[in-house]
Amino acid sequence: MAVEKWGEFEGEPVGRVVLDNGKGLRAAILSWGGVLQSLTIDVDGRPRPLVLGFDGFPDYPAKSPYFGATVGRFGNRIGHATFTLDGVRHDLEANMGGVHHLHGGSKGWGRRLWRMTPGGDGRSVTLELTGPAGEAGYPGTVEARCLYQLTDDSLDIEMTATTTAPTPINMVHHTYWNLDGKGSIEAHELRLAADGYLPTGEGQIPTGEIRPLAGTGFDFREARRIDAKGTADYDHCFVVNGSGLRPVADLVASDGRVRMTLDADQPGVQLYTGFKMDITASDGAHIGPRAGLCLETECFPDAPNKPEFPSSILRPNETYRHRMVHRFAVAGA
């Protein structure tokens, strides 16, 4: 399986690898940002797109809201762009409105080139990246790895990392899903294996409370349309029930033809329904609000500043691990 050149970034080639499970599921991965650029599944003999992405590389650094990116070193938000670890204060890049820290900073891992090694089976690719000590203000040099692999019915993603000094780690996969392949996700049906969510304050930073879903517009404990509670605008972290690799989400296309189940091993999942998007690609295609939704399994946002949250701190001689299994089924196939 060859790595094709798919553009250039800061004078370096951008690689692209296409994975194929031979059973109608195909994925294209970029070395820039560790991006899942394309994922299709055959429906009635024709490939149906399942994720949002651009057809040309220049739109990614210029216009992408992290489409399909492998985000780090800390995905999501850290309040006031600072945290204290082992008695030492660390000030981060305040790349979110000049106040807070988002997705590892303006040069975070979702906007950098990764080293790309295809597997020998045509179904997998490994990406590796070195995050130097001091990047965006973080301590410790981190060696990060992301494995994409297709099985007979799933896209599996496994992220790992090691560090030379204690540091927060929260590697997040940031794909925008649309199982219809077009239009809005408002009529998608979603169920989340969560009984609580994290309410937020200024800058969408969690307050530290875990609030029950019952009686709120955030209740996805039973499968329902995204917009069934009168809104389709969500950007919150839900507290996933249980621990270890377990069910997180069940998403069904509005036409009922494609179902995706998501299992993961992280404490939370960020549901973002893309309501802030308003993008015109270079080919003239418009990607508007609610054209895709994110299901970002993760440590809780602002965990480095919330001792009551599960720890996001990685220490030397430990290995960070984050596994996701996206399983697909086509009705009537």
Give catalytic residue positions: 174, 296
Reduce the secondary structure of 255-323 to three states and give it as a string: CCCEEEEEEECCCEEEEECCCCCCEECCCCCEECCCCCEEEEEECCCCHHHCCCCCCCEECCCCCEEEE
Q: How far apart are the first and last CA of the chain?
A: 28
Q: Distance (Å, rounded) from C-alpha 319 to C-alpha 312?
A: 12
CA–chain centroid gap for 201, Å, is 22
Provide the H-helix boundaries in the chain.
59-63
CA–chain centroid gap for 254, Å, is 22
Q: Distance (Å, rounded) from C-alpha 189 to C-alpha 222?
A: 10
Rg over CA atoms, the chain = 19
H or E, element range at 39: strand 36-43
Q: Distance (Å, rounded) from C-alpha 70 to C-alpha 270?
A: 15
The beta strands (E) that lie in 201-264 are given as 211-212, 224-225, 235-240, 246-252, 258-264
- Mapped onto helix, strand or coil, the DSSP state of residue 158 is strand
Residues 6+ apart with CB under 8 A from 98: none
CB 323 within 8 A of CB 245: yes
